[in-house]
Structure 1
């Protein structure tokens, strides 16, 4: 499915490509090369936003905005609150609905045009000529082709004109120009709001006509007679559908100018080399920067850092442990972690509610994103995180101290499963956030005091006032917990509770 970021990248790339095409290639006579370029513009534009995933290069981590000792805090499993998209539940007209409606109407018109051409083919008399099907129009109209169907009204043309028409339209058919037109039409339906998409579509149509005109001239037809023929066809009525390769198009002036232009010198094709640095530039923009190589110290260890994410946002409190050891770290409020690990080691990343993931240290690039998949059965706390947390326990009990990890952790009445049942029943997705399409993860923190009361509730990382307020409301309303203990004494313990709001 399209995302706003994806659409921005694709449309920005197409605008850049169009500008470069007009500046460097629009005046030369390398029509086949230009066709290749125009195809590559489409393909590169729609694919380059995914290059970072395919090449395992990821955007750098953000600079920390909250300086908090999150790696020493107890983080509860992520609470997921899902609501239907507001367009489905409330009927509010969103930007995506407007975009989809226009795209749907354009696609409907597109298929109706194809249907009209098929209907026209059925209604005409046709004959096979040299592997092509000549369809005889029943009323005067300009000649055109659609794949290997050539539509023409024979009484309107002399013998010489008929020869030019066949060469022209057979060129369209042999070189499969209809594919270019259909693909460009589909792209304009999907990216209708970008004026450069329509301009690129026009360039594609013009270039296909240049190719067909060039074939006519190379077949020995007189240049001036052919141009007069085109001028005569400019006043001929045209069929309603516009998906075909047409003998006569509105850019007749450009076609005649191109036919009279001196052929471009072969050396000028060196301009194509600009395409390579342009792709490199797009790759750079797609990834912001290239991850730096890890430096190994004398003990065979390297410093690694990355960001742990799900399919929406960074994951707070994920355990990152060096496999087969008890050494590691926990992700902070930005989902970031940094640690030293053996160069030939393996990291195990885990978080309650998500499927654990292992990755070789040598494959971890600085600032890359490591994605965890949601575990539908993942309510059980991860053993590695528990082991790592116990090692960080504070052995000294000071009156009034707020602990982060203790020997006996506080617990919700009924355990973790009861906590999630409570949260699932109490957290409501704010209507105003649904209507505005707002989603994200609210990171809250609270203290379970030595009596089990919930105190000092606050938002460590907010998303939207409505979502933040709902997360705070539910946390403050939690019943008393069973307090935690350190060295047999009840103590206050601080927790982090991420609450993720997601629209379907």
Structure 2
């Protein structure tokens, strides 16, 4: 919602600049009215047009999207509550300030609305020229609200009265109050955005241009009408939700009345806002386009088609033949935390995990990896420690995972199935709580990557000095986790002999990333088959330089593990 809200406000700012650049000085008042309302509508609609939804519907033959979104999990860090969370406090204060401003403006809006209704009930009403005219009991500027017209007749001559009536009837018959209310509501929701208020001012001014033009079209003298406007300039400018006869600035209105009419060919420029709307949609979805491009999908599909040859020994299932007790490691649609997806899972763990006091006192910290199964009905079963560091921390991680609400279950070919899920949880003490942190030997967890292609390897470098297993800043592949997934997916090739033999499984490759970021001494710690093991070592060894890990600001050698899944389709 925050991203959507920000995109709406950016769009309003861009449309206002576009309006000032192209439409501000022409005399096509009706077209300008339509364009201004369309700017608000498009600003609200464009962020909802999500290209990523269309892209993700194009189902590739490999589980790249599931791997990135659901298997390669973020690390959940739990620390003792010893410091003030300034970031959270600022966010809450900003939220409170925003909704406080919205509440104030809503109250102001309804007070103005109630004032107009009360005035309409108190004033004497007469019928003139097919309109209900409410006669004000004391001196004030004429104005209208929908089909209600308010005039203090004693202040005007008959000619002036007729001019005012024509002006306000134009507002009433063309439903200008709808434009005013829409602009008021936008300003209430986007009160902090100055461009929303500027757009509202342009809408109000353009409505006055339309009514002024109608008065002159009915044959009233232009100069006399302009002097009449100047005579009413001592009244307070309208700042409420009605259409006021003497709305300021009068200088703009008088200049526009004396302006030469714009040539008809000028209407074609109003079509230019359509490409601007398309451009905004592309900008709004630029992140999704960058992550999931058509080129990447085509490369993955072509790689699968050319490198993976199905054999009679490949394991396949139909909806009716999936065994009841089978637990899937990877499924077509992965399980999802019900309340907010991945963000909801992060919030749940952050809110419910507690750092055991005895572990704090003993200075124990590190990463606990918990594996569990999401059952067909979404319930959490079989939670277990895949990698533990201390009984107290392990117990706390199991407790919170077991207490999770039901998930949305994973599905295979449209049928709910049991699926395994892994969550790494980091318990970390602040440095001032017990001196310098202790670093327990913990391997980095990633999960599965599907093999699909081939690329030549590069030589390895040497290791000099101590080798760390966990450091303050772990090594990073160019482009992050997503970049590493794409690299492995493009460069691994499923050996043909292994395909024919029906060999598949998960290989874990351990390597050391040295101080220069080079891959060194890769080795298989969990083998499956010599052919698959050799292919995994070849591609890991061919990786480009990483950003090295650092400890206390200095680059160090770091041990790193990458699981790679070879699976027959």
Higher relative contact order (CA 8 A, sep 6+): 1
Shift of 1:284: 1.2
Shift of 1:136: 0.6
Matched with 2:335 is 351
Partner deviation per Cα, 1:202-233 (whole Å, 9 max, x = no partner): 10000000000111111111111111111111
Shift of 1:154: 0.5
Distance 1:218 1:55, change over 3 A: farther
Residue 9 of structure 2 is aligned to residue 11 of structure 1? yes
Distance 1:55 1:252, change over 3 A: farther
Name the TM-score, length of structure 2 as normaliser: 0.52
Name the TM-score, length of structure 1 as normaliser: 0.58
Contact 2:126–2:132, Cα closer than 8 Å, also in 1? yes
Distance 1:249 1:52, change over 3 A: same
Contact 1:144–1:244, Cα closer than 8 Å, also in 2? yes
Shift of 1:56: 2.6
Shift of 1:163: 1.0
Please report the RMSD computed on the Cα atoms of aligned residues, expressed in angstroms. Answer: 4.9
Matches for 1:218-229 after TM superposition, within 5 Å: 218-229=217-228
Matched with 1:24 is 22
Shift of 1:128: 3.3
Matched with 1:477 is none
Shift of 1:237: 5.0
Distance 1:233 1:302, change over 3 A: farther
Distance 1:92 1:380, change over 3 A: closer
Shift of 1:38: 0.3
Secondary structure at 1:349's aligned position in 2? coil
Please list every run of 5 or more consecutive structure 2 residues that lacks an aligned counterpart in the other structure: 58-66, 79-84, 308-314, 323-327, 349-371, 377-383, 389-394, 405-421, 428-438, 447-470, 473-525, 529-560, 564-569
State the aligned residue count. Answer: 353
Partner deviation per Cα, 1:316-373 (whole Å, 9 max, x = no partner): xxxxx997499xx988xxxxxxxxxxxxxxx822237569xxxxxxxxxxxxxx9999
Matched with 1:177 is 176
Matched with 1:233 is 232
CA–CA distance in 2 between the matches of 1:495 and 1:300?
21
CA–CA distance in 1 between the matches of 2:174 and 2:306?
56
Secondary structure at 1:235's aligned position in 2? coil
Residue 400 of structure 2 is aligned to residue 423 of structure 1? yes
Matched with 2:276 is 278
Residue 455 of structure 2 is aligned to residue 456 of structure 1? no
CA–CA distance in 1 between the matches of 2:41 and 2:76?
39
Matches for 1:32-47 after TM superposition, within 5 Å: 32-47=30-45
Larger Rg: 2
Residue 179 of structure 2 is aligned to residue 194 of structure 1? no
CA–CA distance in 2 between the matches of 1:103 and 1:162?
39
Contact 2:22–2:269, Cα closer than 8 Å, also in 1? yes
Residue 307 of structure 2 is aligned to residue 292 of structure 1? no
CA–CA distance in 1 between the matches of 2:316 and 2:333?
9
CA–CA distance in 2 between the matches of 1:91 and 1:258?
47
Distance 1:272 1:219, change over 3 A: same
Shift of 1:245: 0.6
Matched with 2:252 is 254
Contact 2:52–2:285, Cα closer than 8 Å, also in 1? no
Partner deviation per Cα, 1:125-156 (whole Å, 9 max, x = no partner): 11233543211111111100000000000011
Contact 1:161–1:229, Cα closer than 8 Å, also in 2? yes
Shift of 1:380: 4.0
Residue 143 of structure 2 is aligned to residue 141 of structure 1? no
Distance 1:272 1:161, change over 3 A: same
Partner deviation per Cα, 1:14-73 (whole Å, 9 max, x = no partner): 1111111111100000001000110011011112111116963579xxxxxxxxxx89x9
